[in-house]
Every structure is written in C-alpha cells, then in structure tokens.
Amino acid sequence: GAGVSQSPRYKVAKRGQDVALRCDPISGHVSLFWYQQALGQGPEFLTYFQNEAQLDKSGLPSDRFFAERPEGSVSTLKIQRTQQEDSAVYLCASSLERGQVEKLFFGSGTQLSVL
Amino acid sequence: AQRVTQPEKLLSVFKGAPVELKCNYSYSGSPELFWYVQYSRQRLQLLLRHISRESIKGFTADLNKGETSFHLKKPFAQEEDSAMYYCALLDNYGQNFVFGPGTRLSVLP
C-alpha cells in the first residue's frame, strides 16, 4: 500500500469491553512498532516486532494489553477489559529494515475513547 | 533514565520572525536525537536528525552535549510551519524512540 494503514480510525468502547486495533504496515517492512499517545503528550512506546517476533514488549502498561503479528505483516493490538485511562491515540509505525528506526513511517492512528 | 523535555506547549510567532523550539534530554551515553513534525490532519513524520546535520525546510538543530539540548531553529518562520513538533531520543539499543511531549508552533500572519 501507499503507507501504514490503521483501522478503525476511531473506536468508542464501553468500560470493560475488549477492543482490537489493526495495523497494516508498508509491504515488505520488517520492523513494526506500536505507540500510545495520550492527549497532550508525545507518543510512548508500547511494543516492537521484527517480522513475527515480538522483541520488546516492555512498554505495554498492563497484562490487559496484548499484541501479535503472526505472519510478520499485519499486526493487531488487543486491549482487554478497557479502562478510561486507556483512552488515547494508538499509533503504528513500520520501517524497512531492522534498526532503521530513522526511517519510520507512521500510520494515522486509531483514536480510542473509553466511556 | 532516558527522558526528553519540551518546556513550551505552545509557541506563537509572527511570520518572518525567528523561531526556536526548545528540547532538553537526559541520557546515559552518546545520544541520537531527532525532530518529528505533525502538520494538521497529517501523519507524524521525520523532520531532521542530528547525525545528518542538514537543514530541512529551513530548520536546523544542533546537539549541545554540555547543555543536553537539541533546540530546533529557523531564522524566518512561515505560516506553513505551523504544526506540532516532537523532539525524540533513540534509546540505548537503537530500537526505540523516547518522545517529548511536543510543542505546538503557531505562525501568525
């Protein structure tokens, strides 16, 4: 595709509901990152994949957050039992090669609102 | 701990005036720093990195290790420079960014 695609663009969830956010990276991009951006803040790292391997998940805020990339392309970020503090924009980014973070391409993000 | 601070949430300047967006960092090691920009309704994108020492859209940034700063400067601001600007630090493993909270630049006509 032309760029990193994220869906849905907006998601409203009731507290306690499970949500799944999708990221389609640029075709052939090896590295994939998820970031969480709260209102008025910069993006904060959640997790990183190299192909299908999740190499770093140190930024996931709790065990309610889970990410996968089973075939090394599309990735899904799942949040179980959503809480109001989960409300944020969730950004996905990809880069062509391992360690090439200076050439990260970002998606438009999914804005999650938990009521 | 690695941390990036941007003291100004909002910076307003008039067109043609000089602009400086401040960025300070804390890092144990040799830092690699970047500026990212997000224009209205667009995606976050790389503006420049200190290693390349280049000028992009008239912007420059110099790494000052003594003051642990990486301020972004432009001598003559243009209205199209209005955007959110994020300073970012590449972590010890070179795999992940630590972003600052961002500064909204508003260039007034």
For chain A, list residues whose CB is within 8 angstroms of any CB belonging to chain B. 3-4, 33, 35, 40-45, 48, 55-56, 91, 93, 99, 101-108
Residue A86 has pLDDT above 80, yes or no: yes
Cross-chain Cβ contact A48/B99 below 8 Å: no
- Residue of B9, B44, B97 with shortest CB distance to A101: B97
DSSP state of A26: P
B58-93 pLDDT tens trace: 999 989 989 999 999 999 999 999 999 999 998 766
For chain A, give the percent of residues with pLDDT over 70.
95
Query: For residues B85 and B72, is the Cβ–Cβ distance under 8 A?
Result: yes
How would you class A58 by CB atoms within 10 Å of its CB: exposed for 0-12, middle for 13-18, buried for 19 or more?
A: exposed
A7-50 pLDDT tens trace: 999 999 999 999 999 999 999 999 999 999 999 899 999 999 99
Token pair of B98 as six digits = 């630590």
Nearest chain B Cα distance for residue A82, angstroms = 24
Nearest chain B Cα distance for residue A43, angstroms = 6
- Residue B70 sits at the chain A interface (C-beta within 8 Å): no
